[in-house]
Copies of this chain bind each other. A is one copy, B any other.
């Protein structure tokens, strides 16, 4: 497990991750206020090591509960208990409340945000897979809970207990509750571009909200996230459903496959499913680069020689590891 001291990632959550408490590599459990009053308890010890994955799991869980929940309510009630605006609200406040839930881990809630933090904000690379798995699992489980909650209504809407259909294959499809499917007129390039643009906006604006050299949103950051997500949904949500997040899209997609929506969940839109998995990584990286290149004056690879591009030619651990210095001494 990584040393808690080693990163200074920009957390979405407006607060730095809780300071970690001493070198865990020594296999000692620190006796402080974060670990319980009774640190000898097995569960407290487990939880101490698992705090960040737990936080990402539950943060993404909350996000999908509200996000998939609102789509379910709007679709299944035929718009009687909500409309497109409700969907903007649901995803916006889902992210906001997910951020409040997962401040401990930096509230990434999105593998592409974690990736951009690795590239631009010294977040440790080896945490990337852990975060990705926790986020995707959180989304997977939440979408199953939403499915269980709306099962009767889905039966009524689809016309039977064994009928589960995907947009483009049926007029009464409900798979769109769980993950995104593109509008029929979109080209492949257009789909990628739409997800790319929306992800770039997301990352650019997260870095803007978090930049103390700019205005900085401070304790209003979770509220700022509400407006960002609401805005992306209202302005760039129609064409591809603004997944902008591997965990948010792939987790529930697998869940919908598991409960019986069939292989169409992957085949629909010309195997569209990989676009919301891949495009956000490019988009968030570009958005983060754009902010750092033109606006950010803090510590960033972009603010080094040749705008950090020389790094691309030096794929060594010494250059790329965000934790190298702590382990091997300062490079000066």
Interface, chain A (partner B; CB < 8 A): 13-15, 18, 33-38, 41, 43-44, 47, 54-55, 58, 62, 65-66, 69-70, 72-73, 76-77, 80-86, 88-90, 93-94, 96-97, 99-101, 103-104, 107, 145, 148-153, 156, 183, 185-187, 190, 193-194, 197, 201, 204-205, 208-209, 213-220, 222-224, 226-228, 230-231, 234-239, 294-295, 297, 299, 303-305, 307
Contact = CB atoms under 8 A, between A and B. Distances in A.
30 contacts: A13-B215, A34-B213, A35-B297, A36-B303, A41-B305, A66-B234, A69-B234, A70-B235, A72-B235, A73-B236, A81-B238, A83-B84, A85-B86, A85-B89, A89-B230, A89-B234, A90-B235, A93-B230, A96-B227, A97-B205, A97-B208, A97-B231, A99-B215, A100-B217, A101-B208, A101-B214, A101-B295, A145-B197, A223-B223, A226-B227
B84 A82 contact: yes
A244 B234 CA distance: 22
B84 A36 contact: no
A303 B222 CA distance: 28
B220 A215 contact: no
Contact of A238 (B77, B97, B193, B215): B77
Given A93-B231, A103-B216, A153-B183, 14 more contacts: A13-B215, A14-B215, A38-B305, A62-B204, A81-B238, A89-B230, A89-B231, A90-B231, A93-B230, A100-B217, A151-B190, A152-B185, A152-B187, A153-B238
Contact of A86 (B208, B234, B294): B234
Q: Quickly give the copy total for this chain.
A: 4
B214 A81 contact: no
B34 A297 contact: yes
Contacts of A305: 38, 41
A39 B210 CA distance: 23
Contacts of A299: 37
